[in-house]
Structure 1
Amino acid sequence: MLKNSFISVISQKEKEENPGSVEFQVFCFTNKIRRLTSHLQLHKKDFLSQRGLRKILGKRQRLLVYLLKKNRARYKELISQLNIRETKTR
């Protein structure tokens, strides 16, 4: 249900559904990160899930850096919409 609401928000902006867009991919990764974080709070020694979480975090980070370079306005809007921190720039 949460996924469908986000798709409708994106589709209103772009006039078409595009599940391959950077925003949609970051949204899906953020949902996975939140689920894994809550799982790891219960199961502290689940090291395979910790590894998976780190991989997903890296993928999301790379997508956010790409979006920051391509379109700063869309990046700022996505960050505020998903309530995640800004990336550290080098």
Structure 2
Amino acid sequence: MVKNSSISIIPQEEKRGSVEFQVFNFTNKIERLTSHLKLHRRDYLSQRGLRKILGKRQRLLVYLSKKNRVRYRELIGQLGIREPKTG
């Protein structure tokens, strides 16, 4: 299951409330919604939900990049997320 793999990537001391865990959960939701939208192109409510989750994940990543740049780089590397364009 997807949740079991999330626990193995994130260290034991940083679980539920950490920024890394939240970003990881949002990434899993984004992947599931993306695969759903490939089948159901006109599901506009799911498209809206996907955009909201993308925004939440982006805000968390910006917060993490300001707080701790090393942890931000590690997380992006682990999850395979592209760095956002600036400017």
Question: Which residue is equivalent to 2:22?
Answer: 25
Structure 1 residues 37 and 9: alpha-carbon distance in aligned structure 2, compared to 1, 3 A threshold: closer
- Structure 1 stretch displaced more, 2-11 or 21-30: 2-11
TM-superposed deviation, 1:80: 0.7
User: Where does residue 37 of structure 2 map in the other structure?
Assistant: 40
TM-score by length of 2: 0.90
The CA distance in 2 between the partners of 1:17 and 1:69, in whole Å, is: 19
Q: Percent identity?
A: 78
Unaligned runs of at least 5 residues, structure 1: none
Cα distance per residue 1:22-69 (max 9 Å; x no partner): 000000000000000000000000000000000000000000000000
* C-alpha displacement of 1:7: 1.8
- Cα distance in 2 for partners of 1:20, 1:33 equals 19
TM-score by length of 1: 0.88
CA distance in 2 between counterparts of 1:32 and 1:48 reads 15
| Alignment gaps of 5+ in structure 2 | none
Moved over 4 A (4+): none
- Look up the SS of the partner of 1:19 in the other structure: coil
Aligned-residue Cα RMSD (Å) equals 1.4
Give the C-alpha shift of residue 17 in structure 1. Answer: 4.4
